[in-house]
Amino acid sequence: MPELPEVEVVRAGLAPAVTRATVTGVDVLDRRSLRRHVGAPFEGDLTGRTIESAVRRGKFLWFPLDDGRSLVAHLGMSGQMLLRRPGDTDRFTRVALGIEHPVHGELLVNFADQRIFGGLAIDPLVPTVDGRPGGHAGDATADPVVPERVAHIARDALDPHFDDHAFDRRVRNSRSGIKRILLDQSAISGIGNIYADESLWAAMIAPEQPGVTLSSAQVELLLDEVRAVLRRALAEGGTSFDAQYVNVNGQAGYFAHSLNAYGRHGKPCTRCGSPIVRVAFANRSSHYCPVCQPLR
């Protein structure tokens, strides 16, 4: 599933093209991608609206509209938002948005999703609990609002308003394994299986280490490594293992070549040389070095 770096690459690619653009038409090819939308018909509700910006919190994208609502996008496991010229088609396109930008002219945003776990919806915006910007909007400042369906999602570690002390308290009051906490989007958002494994490897903490056993110094180190891993992945365009993970131009990221733990089971740890192991974890897998990351 796309994680923070992959979603941020999409947001940053779309922002110049969609900000101040007017939606001129909506072509719904598969209504399953609109199953999260409620209320008036999606096509009529969105056509004619002007997009004010592109904002991200964790793995969620939203595009504030000129009527005080937002177009929310979740990529699910295989979703893509591809910026095209009018008439261009992409395989697995489920919804196509025609837009007109005052500078760039007529464009097309294709929401393609092979497995149809993602989707689009129009959602009201609600005030943030802390009164601070709702998410990351690049060089612009996001308003202190979030889509209603995103309100329960925590800030991510790259958000300047993320509360390190609150996260420390949550971790050290929990008997859950630290990887489970990292994947809990109500505790810290944007991290999935890949970047959890990479961050824990970098901090030399076992995935199943109970949060209550960690010191504040260890939690601080882990947050430092989370941020470092996410920033490196952003610099390399995210992690792409196949054609599903691409930017708005259909290009793949290459952080997969920099991974130290995820997907490297049986290969030597780049730090100590011991084989990386893979163990079952919540219907997926954890990858870690049993020598560098012993359960204490």
The residues that are catalytic are 2-3, 59, 284
Structure tokens at 294: 């012993």
What would the DSSP string read from start to end of the chain? Answer: ---HHHHHHHHHHHHHHHTTPEEEEEEES-GGGGTT--SS-HHHHHTTPBB---EEETTEEEEEBTTSEEEEEE-TTTEEEEEE-TT---TTEEEEEEEEETTTEEEEEEEEESS---EEEEEEEEE-TTSS--SB-TTSPPPSEEEGGGTTSPPBTTSTT--HHHHHHHHHT--SBHHHHHH-TTTSBS--HHHHHHHHHHHT--TT-BGGG--HHHHHHHHHHHHHHHHHHHHTT---SSTTSB-TTSPBP-GGGG-SSTT-TTSBPTTT-PBPEEEEETTEEEEE-TTTS---
